[in-house]
Structure 1
Amino acid sequence: MYRRIPFQLWLTILILSLGGCSFGNTPSAPVTLNSKYHDEQPALSGDGRWLAFISNRHGTSEVLFYDLTQKRFVSLPNLNQKGAIHESPSLSRTGRYIVYLSSPQGKPDIILYDRATKRSDILTQGYRHWVRNPQISPDGRYVVFESARRGQWDIEVMDRGVAIELDIPDGEVITP
């Protein structure tokens, strides 16, 4: 014998079974790696644990960071700038450093994010030329990118210097 369930009770059961409800244009937080949104430009850390990619899951272009071992997204404060277009992420060996392009006002800049300090720094601040396709070395010291400084696309290498903390696996000894 079936009973008629009141509409309000049915709606409550439906919402609870779906895990909540989102009203408005804001999609829910990402819970799986693949989604119905545009996920593109993947970058894998040298140790194979971390994945960074560009997504529009939250209604705007952003860099997302995913732990392949734990199968979960990792929130990184100060990684994405609001209202900016992000692209071309690259990861150092253990994913400590992330470089990517950010275009808050049309002209792209290369941003370096340090997961240890949770800081973003503009590497091309004051650089008057167009840049694209940044890549960071496994140890995090060098960033290579394409530059239109001479009116054509050339490759430039930026040395972040000897004073930076290198991205090396725990226990590895570096000899000069």
Structure 2
Amino acid sequence: MPRPLLILLASLALMGCNGRRERTGGGLLATSQQAPALSGSGEWLAVVSDRGGRPTVQLRRLSDGSVVSVPQLSRHQPHSSPSLSWNGRYLAAITQRGRRRLAVVTDRLNGRMHPLPLPGGRDPVQLSLAPDAQQIALQVTDQGRWRVELLDLSDLLEPDRPPGQSLSTPALSSEP
């Protein structure tokens, strides 16, 4: 066997020994979890997991692995397509009320849930919340066709910005 090939095989074997460690036993990689969404800060993870036979959003603080309840969503199941703002203040998801699917944004700071009504009988399929929570992109079905709509949430939600980032103000003019 040629020496370069032997070195390559030996290095690959050693790299396999230094694999990443993953949590088990109820950790982040528990079975039947899907649709992961990570907050912009990397502090929060939202997933959809099977709970009592119903897809349910589970919110986890990554620093200590604790699961944080989102009581506003508990009555409106099943859940799908979670999305988080920068600091995890806002959690957007698709829920179901009766036979109707509904996009909602939950403000975890004040406990409010904001339904996002869609005109014309459109049903949300998937969503993505902007990191500052000022916009949301929604994939919807409209008379058998897929569409993507962008909604402005700036009149509904306060911005969720990274720490230390201030609101921008216009530069002052040096002329009178």
What interval of TM-score do these two structures reach, taking the shorter chain for normalisation? 0.7 to 0.9
Would the aligned equivalents of 2:139 and 2:149 in 1 still touch at CA under 8 Å?
A: yes
* Aligned match of 1:77: 71
Alignment of 1:1-176 (within 5 A): 32-36=27-31, 38-82=32-76, 84-124=77-117, 128-149=121-142, 151-162=144-155, 164-176=157-169
Would the aligned equivalents of 2:84 and 2:90 in 1 still touch at CA under 8 Å?
A: yes
Shift of 1:165: 0.9
- Any runs of at least 4 consecutive aligned residues in structure 1 with deviations exceeding 6 A, and if so which? none
Moved more, 70-79 or 109-118: 70-79
Q: Does the residue aligned with 1:101 lie in a helix, a strand or coil?
A: strand
Percent sequence identity over aligned pairs: 29
Distance 1:175 1:42, change over 3 A: same
Letter in 1 for 2:88: G
The count of corresponding residues between Structure 1 and Structure 2 is 145
Higher helix proportion, which one?
Answer: 2
Letter in 1 for 2:65: K
Letter in 2 for 1:81: R
Whole-Å Cα distance in 2 between the matches of residues 103 and 93 of structure 1? 25
Distance 1:127 1:99, change over 3 A: farther
Whole-Å Cα distance in 1 between the matches of residues 30 and 156 of structure 2? 40
Would the aligned equivalents of 2:35 and 2:47 in 1 still touch at CA under 8 Å?
A: yes
Q: Which runs of 5+ in 2 are unaligned?
A: 1-24, 170-176
Letter in 2 for 1:68: L
* Aligned match of 1:13: none
Would the aligned equivalents of 2:126 and 2:140 in 1 still touch at CA under 8 Å?
A: no
Whole-Å Cα distance in 2 between the matches of residues 142 and 162 of structure 1? 10
Distance 1:94 1:149, change over 3 A: same
Higher strand proportion, which one?
Answer: 2
Give the TM-score normalised by structure 2: 0.73
Q: Which runs of 5+ in 1 are unaligned?
A: 1-29
